[in-house]
Chain A
Amino acid sequence: MASSTRSSQGIPNHGGHDHFWFRTLSRREFLGATAGAAGGLATSSLFMPSLVFAGDRVATVAPKPIPGGVAPFGIPIHHFPPVPTLGPTAINEPSQITDFNGFVGITRVRGTGTGTDLATGMTSQLNFQVDNGFMDGVYVGEDGNVHRGTFAFV
């Protein structure tokens, strides 16, 4: 598998700095903490993708976030990372949206690539860590109605 071949090639594969994800919040804690931190959350929303072609089926009603989450850097977010496992089951809630019924995928994956400064043409090797996923199914949107939609967790 890719993981076994690459981790032995000297690529930085640091696994010890995930501690900022560890503290989970109950729903009550989350709601209280969120009220205090709301001003710190980004207000921008890029809900719609940049390219939508005629005929594509793209959700137009925003879904709602899952009720719980973790608090990296003490900042509560509606998200559970794929690792570490927080219990009680072997898998943390992989969906970012609630009132959802459908397919879901989540990952933490690492690797390497090349960054290019487009002004100078200079290149450099960069390492990546990506927590991505998808949700594809039906959901109750912010409008209270059931919709079908496909979403990327980026």
Chain B
Amino acid sequence: MDLYQGTVGVLSNQRHDFSPGIPKSGLFWTQAIPQDNVSVHFGAGTATVSAHDLMEEDAGNVLNALQGGATTPASVSFDMHWTATSEQMHLTDPVHGFTGDFFISDLTIEWSARKADFLFTSDPADTSINVRSFLGRERNGVFFSEAD
């Protein structure tokens, strides 16, 4: 979760980069959360994730985060809502080994981050600018079959 002063996506503008870090396995910026933090109504094409006070690291910018540079402790909370904007699509990708049913979706987020000396609070969810979002039900790895 990246914060910028000025144009987003420009490394020199980035001020904060919140993530759970990358363990030796290479699992990328992924952390366990309580099951009831996620609610999916797949038939309706909607999902909600509400996570609060997740422990993160602030690496300052994405390059430092990927290089495993110095970080400071932080926490984030967020409420995210996926709402399908397309018909359900069945896709199978034999190159990357996944298959499933997917929706292109709209996405809104309201979030906050906290460090010892810093607090960020996003504007309300309805001000979110969705760039690209998907909601799906998929199988990969040992659960993948091209015949699906």
Contacts and interface: CB of A to CB of B under 8 A. Distances in A.
Our verdict on whether A and B bind, yes or no, reads yes
Interface of A: 1-3, 6-7, 11-18, 34, 38, 40-53, 56-60, 62-69, 72-73, 75, 77-80, 82-83, 87-119, 124, 126-130, 132, 134-136, 140, 142, 148-154
Contact of A119 (B37, B117, B132): B117
Contacts of B102: 91, 94
* Interface core residue of A3, A15, A41, A87 (most chain B CB under 10 Å): A41
A141 to B, nearest CB: 11
Contacts of A12: 4, 6-8
B60 interface: no
Interface string B12-49: 00010011111111111111111111101010000101
B147 interface: no
8 contacts: A40-B68, A41-B68, A42-B71, A56-B35, A89-B91, A103-B47, A115-B15, A151-B30
A109 B1 CA distance: 10
A154 B1 contact: yes
Interface in B45-92: 47, 49, 51-57, 62-63, 65-68, 71, 75-76, 78, 80, 82, 85, 89, 91-92
B79 to A, nearest CB: 11
Given A89-B91, A152-B37, A72 B22 contact: no
